[in-house]
Chain A
Amino acid sequence: MEYIYIDPVVREGFRRTLPFHWSELTITNATEASFLADALAHGVGPHGFSIPVVGKRGHRALVSISSSRPEQEWKSHVAANQAALVEIANRLHSRVIVELFGEDRPHLTTRELECLRWTALGKAAGEIAIILDISPLTVRDYLKSSRYKLDCVTSAQAVSKAVKLGPLIL
């Protein structure tokens, strides 16, 4: 069927960088319109949200979710969960990249390791901020970045994985 060459979400999604609602797309021809009708008939919701993602080596992907809920309810759901959806899309992409190209050893910086080490010693972000003399929000970002690089959900999990993989010595 080669839907990938017809799907307007794919056509447009790989030319975008910010997440977008399908309602922003313009359907350019009858093939696309009939494709969408087909998708609808196969259970894809009429409302969709797509998140373009890119990895460090430039691998690009598009993660889409769709819903059959009323449009307003759907849009406010997306708005309330933006950051989480973007996070999920990127995590999914990294997993696929690992499957396809093998695992890259995560490169953690000194600050990221310091934040993980203090976390391992029971310090909260606010306390780490005082110890390292940086703002709590910056500590939050270093921890966020370490979690992302290590593919972990919580900082505790990131500590344990960093120890297991080697870069963090307690």
Chain B
Amino acid sequence: MIVVIEKHNTHRHPKLMEGMFRLRARVFCDRLGWDVQVACGQERDKYDDEAPVYLIYADDEGREVKGSLRLLPTTGPTLLADLFSDTVPDAAHLSAPTIWECTRFCLDDRIVDKEQRLFASAVLIAALGDVAIGAGIESIIANFDATMLRLYRHIGCEVEVLGSTSRYGRPIYLGLFTVSEPILHRIKARMLEARLAAARPREASAPQSLTLASATR
């Protein structure tokens, strides 16, 4: 299920909020090695105090967080304006009521199957599309690494990369996503395809993934 959390309903989802901050610590600190602050196993920054909108993809019982993202309007203070002001000032300082920023997009690091990762990100992005269209948002500016960029394009997102920063080692890109009904339809179609692919009998694909796993080792 997808849960949209803002300040007014944060208190109703303490487990999910904690799960999200823990997931962010695992992904952005442990895996990607970004320069983020982790305290008590949870990653937070000052933009979490700017009343952002969180989209959390969780299991149906609302216990495990499978993915999450954070949204802020570019009319107010934004993370990307800070992070990219030296390398990509043009895009970093875009500001308009219908342009929002999406940061801290992440998927559960324990989902390793490629099709399942694809499906999970499609679910989250489709939900983002629904929220965006419902709120009059026309473009989304976001940061991501090369792996996520491939994934976004594979799902059917329309994104233009506007620049990058190598402040934290491997490049982090800044891109502008267009929000529209046709794009959203396409993403939802890919989402269903990915679900079918992820649900295909494991017997057939098991030996193959075993070979793949041993090949990467």
- Tell me the A residues contacting B by CB distance below 8 Å: 12, 15-19, 53-58, 60, 82-87, 89-90, 107, 109-112, 134-135, 137-138, 141-142, 144-145, 147-149
Interface stretch (choices B15-23, B70-78, B119-127, B145-153): B70-78
Q: Mark B68-103, 1 if CB is under 8 A from A, else 0.
A: 000111111100000000000111011111110000
Cβ of B8 < 8 Å from any Cβ of A? yes
Tell me the smallest distance from the CB of A153 to a CB of chain B, in Å: 13
15 example contacts (A-B, Cβ-Cβ < 8 A) are as follows A16-B51, A17-B51, A18-B4, A18-B134, A54-B51, A54-B76, A54-B77, A85-B136, A86-B136, A107-B93, A137-B176, A144-B98, A145-B94, A145-B99, A147-B96
Tell me, yes or no, whether B32 is within 8 Å of chain A by CB. Answer: no
Residues of B contacting A147 in the complex (Cβ-Cβ under 8 angstroms): 96
- Whether the pair A55, B99 counts as a contact (CB closer than 8 A) is no
Complex Cα distance, B77 from A55, in Å, reads 7
* Any A CB within 8 A of the CB of B50: yes
Closest to B93 in A: A109
Docked-complex contact A56 and B95, CB < 8 angstroms:
yes
Determine whether the beta carbon of B6 is less than 8 Å from that of A148.
no
Name the distance in Å between A120's Cβ and chain B's nearest Cβ: 18
For B76, what are the chain A residues with a Cβ–Cβ distance below 8 Å? 54-56, 58
Picked from B6, B89, B131, B136, the residue with its CB within 8 Å of the CB of A16 is: B6
CA distance A14 to B97 in the complex (A): 17
Contact: A145 with B138, CB < 8 Å?
A: no
State which size class the interface on B falls in: 35 or more
Cα separation A147 to B97 with both chains bound (whole Å): 11
Contacts of B131 in A (CB 8 A): 18
Specify the chain A residue showing the minimal Cβ separation from B135: A18
Query: How long is the Cα–Cα vector from A15 to B53 in the complex, in angstroms?
Result: 11
Q: Is B143 an interface residue (CB 8 A)?
A: no
B96 touches A148 (CB 8 A): yes
Is there an interface contact between B52 and A17, defined as CB atoms closer than 8 Å? yes
Q: In the complex, which residues of chain B have a beta carbon less than 8 angstroms from the beta carbon of A84?
A: 136
With contacts A16-B6, A17-B53, A142-B90 taken as known, whether A83 is within 8 angstroms of B98 at the C-beta atoms is yes
**What is the CB-to-nearest-CB distance from B84 to chain A, in angstroms, rounded to a whole number?**
11
Task: Assess the A137–B160 pair: CB atoms within 8 A.
Answer: yes
Contact A144 B99 (CB under 8 A): yes
| Bound CA–CA A35/B160 (angstroms) | 49
Which residues 42-81 of B sit at the A interface, judged by CB distance below 8 A? Answer: 50-53, 71-77
| CB of B7 closer than 8 Å to a CB of A | yes
Report whether B176 and A145 are in contact in the complex, using a CB–CB cutoff of 8 Å: no
Whether A58 pairs with B77 at a CB distance below 8 angstroms is yes
Q: How far is the CA of A16 from the CA of B158 in the complex (A)?
A: 28
Q: Given A141-B176, A142-B94, A148-B97, are A18 and B6 also a contact pair (CB < 8 Å)?
A: yes
Q: Which of A60, A84, A135, A138 has the most CB of B within 10 A?
A: A138
Contact of A58 with B6 at beta-carbon distance under 8 Å, contacts A110-B89, A137-B178, A138-B160 already known: no
Q: How far is the CA of A60 from the CA of B77 in the complex (A)?
A: 11
- Which residue of chain A is the closest to B78 with respect to CB atoms? A56
B107-163 interface (Cβ within 8 A of A) = 131, 133-139, 158, 160, 162
Closest to A13 in B: B8
- Contact: A53 with B75, CB < 8 Å? yes
Q: Report Cα–Cα, A55/B142, bound state, in Å.
A: 19
When C-beta atoms are compared, the residue in chain B nearest to A25 turns out to be B8
For B90, the chain A residues whose CB sits under 8 A away are 109-112, 142
